[in-house]
Amino acid sequence: MRAGALGRALGEGAGALWTLALVLGGAAAMLSGLDALPGWLRGEPRGVRRVASVDEAERIMRSRILLPSYFPDSYRWPPSSIRVWREGGGAVALAFDARDGSPALLLAETVSGTGALTAPLLPDSAVIQKQGAALGEGATLSRIVSEDGTLWNELEWTAAGRRFVLRGRGPLDVLMRMARSIHGAGR
């Protein structure tokens, strides 16, 4: 009799544990879905997350974000948007508006490694001209057209163990100066 009661008690305990595991698993899945919902509603690619500050991006990426020490007054600080992408070693993109409020500058960088910065962080564009740039080996300067038809200059280079992209609508000499002012990234 005792063995039967013990068996039933163990069976009921296993059932309770199974129910608890299903409830916790369901709650975790629901919270993960709710966390992804704002990005999905904004049309963000999967895996990209908007954050409120450079400090928050650094906490999430567990790495310092390299920023230019030269930052002209023609751009607004703080960034208008900061997006992080943790896949492939991680990357971050910071968008800046001009003083008039229009999009004017994008700085993207890998956090670990020098792989290409992929589409999740960079808006679609078409390259209309490309040439070498004086920012080190493999650096390029491109003239690109965004989806809305706006012309941008884009610098892309590798330094300090990272890959950088700096897109701007302003003068090319300003972009070059900003790129060179990123500590260890544009010598």
pLDDT digits (tens, 9 = 90+) for 99-142: 999 999 999 999 887 777 766 788 888 999 999 998 877 899 99
pLDDT tens digits, one per residue of 165-174: 999 998 999 9
Q: How far apart are CA 162 and CA 120, in angstroms?
A: 17
The reply to whether 185 falls in a domain is no
Domain total of the chain: 2
With 80 as the cut, is the pLDDT of residue 19 above it?
no
Claim to verify: residue 113 and residue 162 sit in the same structural domain: yes
CATH of the domain at 81: 3.40.1000
Q: What is the pLDDT of residue 23?
A: 63
In a domain? residue 186 = no
Of 6-10, 28-32, 126-130, the range with the highest mean pLDDT is 126-130
Domain of residue 26, residue span: 1-43
Residue 152's closest CA among 88, 108, 186? 108
Whether 114 and 38 share a structural domain: no
User: What is the rounded CA–CA span in Å between residue 37 and residue 159?
Assistant: 35
Is pLDDT larger for residue 136 or for residue 62? Answer: 62
> Is 95 part of any domain?
yes
Question: Does 134 lie in the same domain as 98?
Answer: yes
Whether 143 and 110 share a structural domain = yes
52 and 92 housed in the same domain: yes
Tell me which of 120 and 14 has the higher pLDDT: 120
Residue 145 has pLDDT above 60, yes or no: yes
24 shares its domain with 59: no
Rounded Cα–Cα distance for residues 143 and 131 (Å): 9
